Chains A and B, each alone.
Chain A
């Protein structure tokens, strides 16, 4: 079966650091993505991990452990504009190209 779990909601304070966890069980694995989605807008790409370890991109970092089926997204120096839903998605083997399976998303609220 295929299952992607992430917390439904999180709250954090402006300027702080927050970690959003994602665990997955899929029949195959060919990469993990994090997307950001503001209310009423399209999901936008944040990060991609295919090998174990940490990928850093500015204030955002993403970690992957394939043996544990686990990833996290780390957001530093939180800003009010970071309030959004964060979607974890796994690319499953399903042919030569992408088949992304999304989690339900984590709604992050950044408070002053």
Chain B
């Protein structure tokens, strides 16, 4: 079974440029998350989807960040314009509602460097 797939793995851009990250969750997982992870820190939740609905986006900086999950499957996270402080790893994860542990399955992440 395929895991959570993210692309691109690495992205280098100059500040003020836009960038987008794509995530394909595990088949059948209705909950999808975007986390941000800075070096030496734990993941921080940006947004959580239940199917196509964003149920928790309180930590998403909405002035520059946006996300969508059309048809309740794949998701895209966009930053426009990017700032130097946005350099981090953006992790996508998915989980199955109703499962006993309900653990999150993470993708390998998209590492963003803003110059």
- Name A's B-contacting residues (CB within 8 A): 4, 31, 33, 41-45, 48, 87, 89, 91, 94-105, 107
Contact = CB atoms under 8 A, between A and B. Distances in A.
Contacts of B95: 97-98
A41 B107 CA distance: 9
Q: Which 3 A-B residue pairings sit nearest by Cβ, starting from the closest?
A: A102-B42, A42-B106, A48-B101
Contact of A105 (B31, B41, B97, B108): B41
Given A42-B4, A100-B45, A104-B40, 19 more contacts: A31-B102, A42-B91, A42-B107, A43-B43, A43-B104, A45-B103, A87-B42, A91-B102, A94-B56, A95-B55, A96-B50, A98-B31, A98-B102, A98-B104, A100-B33, A100-B104, A102-B44, A104-B42, A107-B40
Given A94-B56, A97-B50, A98-B31, A105 B105 contact: no
Given A42-B108, A42-B109, A99 B56 contact: yes
Interface residues of B, number: 25
A8 B101 CA distance: 26
Contact of A99 (B45, B97, B101): B45
A42 B42 CA distance: 12
25 contacts: A4-B42, A31-B101, A31-B102, A33-B103, A42-B4, A42-B106, A42-B108, A42-B109, A43-B91, A44-B106, A45-B101, A45-B103, A45-B105, A48-B101, A87-B42, A87-B43, A98-B95, A98-B102, A98-B104, A99-B45, A99-B56, A100-B45, A103-B42, A104-B42, A105-B41
